[in-house]
Amino acid sequence: MNFLALAAVLSALGMYALARYVRLGKTVEATSSLAKLAGAAKEYYENSDATQPAGAEPQAVQAMRHFPPSSRVPVPEDALSVRGKRFESNMADWAASPWRDLHFSIVQPQCYQYSFDAQGAGASAKATVMAQGDLDGDGIRSMYSLGVEADSSFNARVSNTMVRENPEE
């Protein structure tokens, strides 16, 4: 009888550990995608001089550096598409700006809804990349965000800290 009780306890712990491991594996999608997006936003900002008018003064060109425009709708558009399940996007979902400008898409089924917010120009430019999902389908969403900001030297810097709210939900 003690053996069965011990086996039941170990089995329950094993199931909990397995479920946690699976959720953790899914969160890697969000963190790696946001790191890739933030790096691409930084690169876009620093290369945006090429889109400025010819013959402009270097100081004026740097003052006009910018991030791509904010996403009008997240991918996927409906948050219920990633509630306790994976969403299979297609290339049309990623064809609009900023995704096209950042050369970003996800080809495998995704667990998170992605959005991009940008504002300002020059040294006051800021961008934030976000991923939101509901891994267990209980209506409580997890959210990850990573910021990219310009400094006074007109260089973009990716934040060292990723904000995580309810990371295992």
The CA–CA distances, whole Å, from 99 to 40, 107, 137, 162 equal 10, 13, 27, 20
CA atoms within 13 A on the CB side of 123: 5
- Given a contact cutoff of 8 angstroms between Cβ atoms, the answer to whether 131 and 26 are in contact is no
Q: What is the pLDDT of residue 113?
A: 97
Amino acid at 17: A
The structure's pTM equals 0.82
pLDDT per 10-residue tile (average), the chain, 169 residues:
66 56 68 96 90 70 87 95 94 96 95 96 95 92 96 94 87
- Given a contact cutoff of 8 angstroms between Cβ atoms, the answer to whether 114 and 74 are in contact is yes
- Given a contact cutoff of 8 angstroms between Cβ atoms, the answer to whether 123 and 151 are in contact is yes
Q: What is the pLDDT of residue 70?
A: 97
Q: What is the pLDDT of residue 49?
A: 76
* Main-chain dihedrals φ then ψ at residue 8, nearest 5 degrees: -65, -45
Q: What is the pLDDT of residue 64?
A: 86
The CA–CA distances, whole Å, from 125 to 34, 38, 66, 110, 119 equal 18, 13, 6, 29, 6
* Long-range contacts, stretch 98-101, CB < 8 angstroms, 24+ apart: 98/41, 98/67, 98/68, 98/69, 98/70, 98/71, 99/71, 99/75, 101/44, 101/68
